[in-house]
Amino acid sequence: MQKIDFEIRGEFITLDRLLKATGVAGSGGAAKTLVADGKVQVDGQDELRKTAKLRAGQVVALTGVRIRLLPRAADAGPDAGPDAGPEAGPDAGPGSSAE
């Protein structure tokens, strides 16, 4: 069985896009057909929604393939990043454009 670890860039990825992005399906149409034919499972349950939103921690399986969804390494930092980013921006802005 082929095992694929896939890092999600945002909060989620749709099932059809995941199948295409991992190369399991050659096209978006082929991905939608796999799902519609009932050949895909998410977390051990059959999934018939082509655009089901998948998040980190979930596992997608179909014949011969298992895809584990992981948070993007950079996504672990943005929790701290956005807090640091806005603070840095205002500090730089008022200092540069002092009234």
Domains of the chain: 2-89 (3.10.290.10)
- What lies within 8 Å, CB to CB, of 38 at 6+ separation is 46, 48
Residue 71 clears pLDDT 70, i.e. is over it: yes
Chain center to CA of 71 = 7
**Integer Cα distance of 22 and 30 in angstroms:** 13
**Integer Cα distance of 94 and 7 in angstroms:** 38
On average, the pLDDT of the chain sits at: 82
- What lies within 8 Å, CB to CB, of 13 at 6+ separation is 6, 21, 53, 54, 69
The residue to which tokens 């205002």 are assigned: 90
**Higher pLDDT, residue 36 or 86:** 36
The stretch 1-21 carries a mean pLDDT of 95
